[in-house]
Structure 1
Amino acid sequence: MSDFINGFWSNYIAVFTTAAIAGCALLLWITARKKVPARSDNTTGHVWDEDLTEMNNPLPLWWVGLFVLTIVFGIGYLFLYPGFGDYPGSLKWSTRGEYTAEVTTANKELEPLYAQFTAKAPEELAGDPAAMAVGERLFMNNCAQCHGSDARGGKGFPNLTDNDWLHGGTPDKINETITKGRIGMMPPMAAAVGSADDVKNVANYVLSLSGAPHDSVRAQLGKPKFVACAACHGADGKGNQAIGAPNLTDDIWLHGYGEQAVIAMVNNGKTNQMPAQEEKLTTAQIHVLTSYVWGLSHGRPQASAKQ
């Protein structure tokens, strides 16, 4: 209920729940009080299909008892557990709390396993088959959804098997990225570059930096305009890992390749996010995962998915 942006739905659910329970109780009460005059043969006088006669028998006590118990159970449940609007329940139980408790228990049970890895440096751990088997499972469960099971990424998701790093590929930087996450932002630069023709010229100059197919005349015209981009990517276009600005000279394209892709980037900009993992993974797990990711780009033995 806490996910709602205002109290309307919480109040709606509380009112609806109260009305439902009260309606059930009222129906039971009315049914119990209503007396249908019976004939001498104990029928109500209702006949269907010529010979189906309704008897005037009271509701079975076991049925009435179950109905009452259901109402009592519903009220008791709503008192103990969340379900009545934004009331958290007297036991303060929640699915989030249950999940957190299970994760805490699992992490405690796994502490002896990770203890043998934490004393080793990532470079050393990357050569340990047992550690890498654990690292592979961590990667598959937490990273493969974006970077792919082979860690080669895709459009908008970096390839982790090469040596092209936006924020640096040292174990410390990889650990920092996994722990805290990253938000990369390329602002729209069309206004700073100039006209639509200037943007096209700059796009061709950017393509020329990596030797990609380009219009050489436009590239020369776009070179002076590249000064608007140099603040982040550097005058030589080699990028800046301190702010996550990509190297434009290595022919590696994270968000698409070719003139139109570069023009779209200059015109529209781009925001990318790598989510922080510090609330999902323990320090020891991040240490093993760091070693695994570092090893991907350093030719260390990897698990079966890459063999």
Structure 2
Amino acid sequence: MNDDDDPENETTGHVYDGIEEYDNPLPKWWFQMFVITLIFGAIYFALYPALGNWKGFLGWTSIGQWEAEVEKANVKYSETFGQYQDMSIEDIAADPKAMKIGTRLFSNNCAVCHGADGGGNVGFPNLTDKDWLYGGSPAEIEMSITHGRNGAMPPWGDVIGEDGVVAVAEYVLKMSGQEHDASKLEKGEQVYNTTCVACHGADGKGNIMLGAPNLTDSIWLYEGTGEGIRHSVRNGRANVMPAQADKLRADKIRMLTAYVYSLSQE
């Protein structure tokens, strides 16, 4: 028997540029894998959402799986945080074990803005001193973390003109005990009493209800030089502290509050 008589050498009759197309059967292992894949796909489509509005017999959803994992994690970690539930923020802040947890929470959620040591940066408050825009009591810190803060210093450049910007900046320099141009103080005080006093107060001590900073000390959220103050007055400032209530559980926020509180007590 020659090769042409071999059943495995049968062709389909198609010839392309002198090349014949053989009609060989698929390997059994390949065909079996193909059938298994079809069966698996049919079962998968039946059990899980795969086509259109079909929800699958198992009723599985990615949201449901996520919620189940979160619930499992809550049960697991409630034992860790539960022991601090009845303690005051001050007592938690004095607990070394709790502060190790607080350190990790701070590193994961706050350090990117306030720095690993809480020392802050230009535009981001220093959490290690006694100067607080919205108050530094445990309750006030917890409020800031939970609900966030939105600070807005309106731009006054178009309202008071460049002369007014320069004058009020000199007046603020005087309030903070820095060198200033005395010849501009009279106008600067007038501008301050017209545009700034409502938020920063007549004495420049600020207002924690509004997040208006104290202008009489040496602590500045932005640069406290003449040019820095003029820039703030001229162009305004806008700060946002994002709310953490939708990101962290209440027990974690409480632990984080205690850690932030502890930073200013050292």
Q: What's the TM-score once normalised by structure 1's chain length?
A: 0.71
| Pairing of 1:130-279 with structure 2 (within 5 A) | 130-192=97-159, 194-227=160-193, 228-279=195-246
Q: From the superposition, tell whether residues 113 and 220 of structure 1 become closer, same or farther in structure 2 (CA, over 3 Å).
A: same
Query: Unaligned 5+ residue runs, structure 2?
Result: none
- Determine what percentage of the aligned residue pairs are the same residue: 44
Letter in 2 for 1:93: T
- Matched with 2:86 is 119
Check the 8 A contact 1:47/1:54 in 2, yes or no: no
Per-residue Cα deviation, 1:243-279 (whole angstroms, up to 9, x for no partner)? 1111111122213332332222223222211111122
SS in 2 for 1:185: strand
Per-residue Cα deviation, 1:218-253 (whole angstroms, up to 9, x for no partner)? 344312101211100111111000111111111222
Shift of 1:184: 1.2
Q: From the superposition, tell whether residues 249 and 97 of structure 1 become closer, same or farther in structure 2 (CA, over 3 Å).
A: farther
Q: From the superposition, tell whether residues 88 and 128 of structure 1 become closer, same or farther in structure 2 (CA, over 3 Å).
A: farther
Per-residue Cα deviation, 1:163-219 (whole angstroms, up to 9, x for no partner)? 110110001101111111111111222344x11111121122222221234333334
- Matched with 1:32 is none
Greater shift, 146-155 or 160-169, is seen at 146-155
Q: From the superposition, tell whether residues 47 and 83 of structure 1 become closer, same or farther in structure 2 (CA, over 3 Å).
A: same
Q: What's the TM-score once normalised by structure 2's chain length?
A: 0.81
Distance 1:137 1:124 in 2: 18
Q: From the superposition, tell whether residues 108 and 195 of structure 1 become closer, same or farther in structure 2 (CA, over 3 Å).
A: same
Distance 2:78 2:225 in 1: 49
Check the 8 A contact 1:163/1:297 in 2, yes or no: yes
Check the 8 A contact 1:204/1:222 in 2, yes or no: yes
Query: How many pairs are equivalent?
Result: 254
Distance 1:110 1:255 in 2: 39
Distance 1:82 1:197 in 2: 68
Question: Which one of 22, 38, 41 corresponds to residue 55 of structure 1?
Answer: 22
